[in-house]
């Protein structure tokens, strides 16, 4: 999940983790109001790679089709039995999405 950066009127910063599309514009912490200043700072390092991506997944029945398709397109990718591609790096993820004609507008890549 991405990390979102918030700032109060005094310039104090805090970071909070929210699911993509779920981060509020403002948060209140101990009576202080913070406004979101950066959409997505980073993906926490604790996530690391490989990354199982549910957002670009397919139905379990189509998992092998996706695996074969990406291999033919020159981006060999492991796909879980649930149909979720497993990316090994940011560059691998970007190449696999591009091979499928997809683009993540909220991505840090």
Residue 58 to residue 96: CA distance in whole angstroms: 13
- At residue 77, the pLDDT reads 93
Tokens of 108: 């840090």
For residue 41, the model assigns a pLDDT of: 45
pLDDT at 97 over 70: yes
pLDDT in tens, 37-83: 865 445 555 556 788 888 899 999 999 999 999 999 999 999 999 99
Nearest in space to 69 (alpha carbons), one of 80, 77, 81, 60: 77
- Mean predicted lDDT score pLDDT of the chain: 84
| Matching residue, tokens 């202080």 | 32
Q: How confident is the model at residue 8 (pLDDT cuts 50, 70, 90)?
A: very high
52 and 84 Cβ atoms separated by less than 8 Å: yes
DSSP structure class, residue 61: G
């Amino acid at each position: 999940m991405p990390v979102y950066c918030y700032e109060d009127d005094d310039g104090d910063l805090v970071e909070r983790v929210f699911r993509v599309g779920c981060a509020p514009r403002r948060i209140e912490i101990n009576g202080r109001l913070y406004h979101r200043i950066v959409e997505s700072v980073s993906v926490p390092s604790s996530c690391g790679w490989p990354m199982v991506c549910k957002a670009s997944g397919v139905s379990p029945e189509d998992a092998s089709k996706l695996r074969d398709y990406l291999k033919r397109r020159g981006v060999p990718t492991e796909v879980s039995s649930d149909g979720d591609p497993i990316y090994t790096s940011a560059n691998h993820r970007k190449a696999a999405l591009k091979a499928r004609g997809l683009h993540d507008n909220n991505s840090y890549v």
